[in-house]
């Protein structure tokens, strides 16, 4: 067995679940945390060894203090803390209830800040430790119908970069991130929805195990950020270098590939509390379909962009 002690917040599903199983396969001693105790027990049963289970809501600072205390009482220290807890909401900004928008921000940004505050205090006491925050491709780009999640992830990107800079003053402490693109997890079907159709990850879609492998690499040899997704850099380039083209393309692409054709009534999903986990989801569009639409869209957007430039210069 490894002497390394790893805390995973958001361990009940998706990327956190895959990361927990990957750490366990390495022989690390695990502390699993999430809101749903029942789901945590299911994950623990899939892990090698006997993980410590601590039901935790990252929006509650007292829960995180109790989590830290339980981990230290059981194992004496914490070497790695991986935070993957997140919720999502679909819908145009004005259609998403304010309380839902605020709760997504509270969970995905302030919840990670709460985790960082507790973890870094523990690491400072130990004079060592690695904090891994789960960022997103959507911390580098924008897309319609996901304003709350994107706002939170852009904020988290700034927080993580700042914490990494401050951690340079304490050589034994590292802060790093993993930024996945589309991943096949229940987060899309569990999300709050005010868009009228069930959400789905647009292609290309990665397995959560690939993201978990990147989290393990950061735990073994911390770096600044690992981007996980074959199209991530291409999409980021389009967002940065061709903003007019990107803004023309992304709304229809999101409607076609980020939302399924399966209708759904308005609901808050798992934003305010645990909900039944739904594995899989609506059929994924093929990469060939996306390429065909994107090729036609790029041509149309290029013509539009050229026209705009001509008008601007006239």
The Cα 73–Cα 254 span in angstroms is 47
3-state secondary structure the chain: CCCCEEEEECCCCHHHHHHHHHHHHCCCEEEEECCCHHHHHHHHHCCCCCCEECCCCCCCHHHHHHHHHHHHHHHCCCCEEEECCCCCEEECHHHCCHHHHHHHHHHHHHHHHHHHHHHHHHHHHHCCEEEEEECCHHHCCCCCCEHHHHHHHHHHHHHHHHHHHHHCCCCCEEEEEEEECCECCCHHHHCEECCCEEECCCCCCECHHHHHHHHHHHHHCCCCEEEECCCHHHHHHHHHHCHHHHHHHHHHHHHHHHEEEEECCCECCCCCCCCCCCCCCCCCCCHHHHHHHHHHHHHHHHHHHHHHHHHHHC
The Cα 43–Cα 303 span in angstroms is 51
Residue 194 known to be catalytic = no
List 145, 149, 188, 194, catalytic entry:
149
In the numeric block, which tokens belong to residue 192? 């709050």
State the CB neighbour count (10 A cutoff) for residue 147.
19
Q: Spell out the residues 6+ positions from residue 166 whose beta carbon is closer than 8 angstroms to its own.
A: none
In the numeric block, which tokens belong to residue 64? 């995180």
**Catalytic positions, written as ranges:** 149
């Amino acid at each position: 067995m490894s002497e390394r002690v790893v805390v995973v917040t958001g361990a009940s599903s998706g990327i956190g679940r895959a990361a927990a199983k990957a750490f366990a396969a390495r022989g690390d001693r695990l502390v699993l945390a999430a809101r749903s105790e029942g789901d945590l027990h299911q994950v623990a049963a899939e892990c090698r060894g006997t993980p410590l289970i601590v039901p935790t809501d990252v929006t509650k600072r007292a829960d995180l203090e109790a989590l830290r205390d339980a981990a230290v009482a059981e194992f004496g220290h914490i070497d790695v803390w991986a935070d993957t807890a997140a919720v999502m909401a679909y819908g145009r900004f004005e259609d998403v209830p304010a309380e839902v928008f605020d709760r997504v921000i509270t969970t995905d940004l302030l919840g990670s800040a709460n985790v960082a505050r507790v973890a870094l205090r523990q690491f400072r006491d130990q004079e060592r430790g690695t904090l891994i925050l789960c960022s997103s491709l959507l911390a580098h780009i924008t897309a319609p119908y996901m304003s709350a999640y994107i706002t939170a992830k852009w904020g988290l990107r700034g927080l993580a970069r700042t914490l990494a800079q401050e951690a340079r003053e304490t050589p034994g402490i590292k802060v790093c991130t993993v930024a996945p693109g589309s991943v096949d997890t229940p987060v899309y079907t569990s999300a709050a929805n005010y868009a009228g159709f069930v959400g789905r990850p647009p292609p290309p879609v990665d397995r959560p195990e690939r993201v978990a492998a990147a989290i393990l690499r950061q735990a073994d040899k911390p770096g600044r950020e690992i981007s996980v997704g074959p199209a991530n850099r291409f999409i980021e380039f389009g967002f940065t270098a061709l903003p007019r083209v990107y803004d023309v393309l992304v709304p229809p692409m999101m409607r076609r590939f980020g939302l399924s054709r399966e209708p759904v009534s308005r609901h808050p999903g798992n934003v305010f509390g645990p909900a039944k986990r739904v594995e899989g989801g609506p059929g994924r569009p093929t990469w060939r379909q996306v390429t065909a639409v994107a090729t036609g869209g790029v041509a149309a957007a290029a013509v539009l962009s050229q026209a705009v430039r001509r008008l601007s210069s006239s």
